[in-house]
Structure 1
Amino acid sequence: MTGLFTGIAVEDNTTRAHLAAIALEAFGKETGQNYISPDGTLVVEKEILEEIGGDLLADLFHLVRRSGYTPDLVIEPGLRHFEAEVYEELDEEAETA
């Protein structure tokens, strides 16, 4: 899979988590929450995820609503993609074990 705008190859869930951390950091800078991701660990404190992640999702829902839809438009497919990617990762881990 390739990113729609940047040509970034999305190969695994670590890469996907990294892309989300970039989005979280950029959103935090834009809102003045000034989150800076940790050095390569991709572990984010609960409070940061609740505050900045929650704000990011809420603002995405506002964008969806302004476009004439409900948040379910992005929630349901996002959850399906997430679950499929986790199952794929678990299957790959089981094959190499």
Structure 2
Amino acid sequence: MTDLYAGGAAEANRTRAHWALTALEAFGAETGQNYTDGTLDVDEDVLRELGGDLLADLFHLAHLNDCTPELLINAGLMHFEAELDEERAEENEEVTD
């Protein structure tokens, strides 16, 4: 695997978004919700429906494993915020250089 941060924090976050899109496309293929076109430009309604359905099913999986949905939400939000903070810090460095 290559260095996720080789292109900087913003590019790392775009890569993460692409991984999420890949997961949504695989989920959509399973459920018949083939609404994406392979780009990161996803309509808000599609993202809400497909992403919401995927989250709900992750919550079912969590429930079956004695884990609360809130645990998944909190962990995901913590990672998301930390990754955005890295991007912002990098942007601030570029401004001050």
Deviations 1:36-89 (CA, angstroms, capped at 9, x unpaired):
3344xx121011111100000000000000001210121101101100100110
* Percent of pairs with identical residues: 55
The structure with higher relative contact order (CA 8 Å, sep 6+) is: 2
Cα distance, 1:9 vs. partner? 5.1
Query: After the TM superposition, which parts of structure 1 deviate over 2 Å for at least 4 consecutive aligned residues?
Result: 7-11, 35-39
Number of equivalences: 89
Q: Is residue 27–residue 56 contact of structure 1 (8 Å, CA) maintained in 2?
A: yes
Query: Unaligned 5+ residue runs, structure 1?
Result: 1-6
The TM-score, its normalising length taken from structure 2, stands at: 0.83
The TM-score, its normalising length taken from structure 1, stands at: 0.83
Give 1 or 2 for the bigger CA radius of gyration. 2
Report the equivalent of 1:36: 36
Query: Unaligned 5+ residue runs, structure 2?
Result: 6-11
Report the equivalent of 2:53: 55
Identify, as 1 or 2, the structure richer in helix: 2
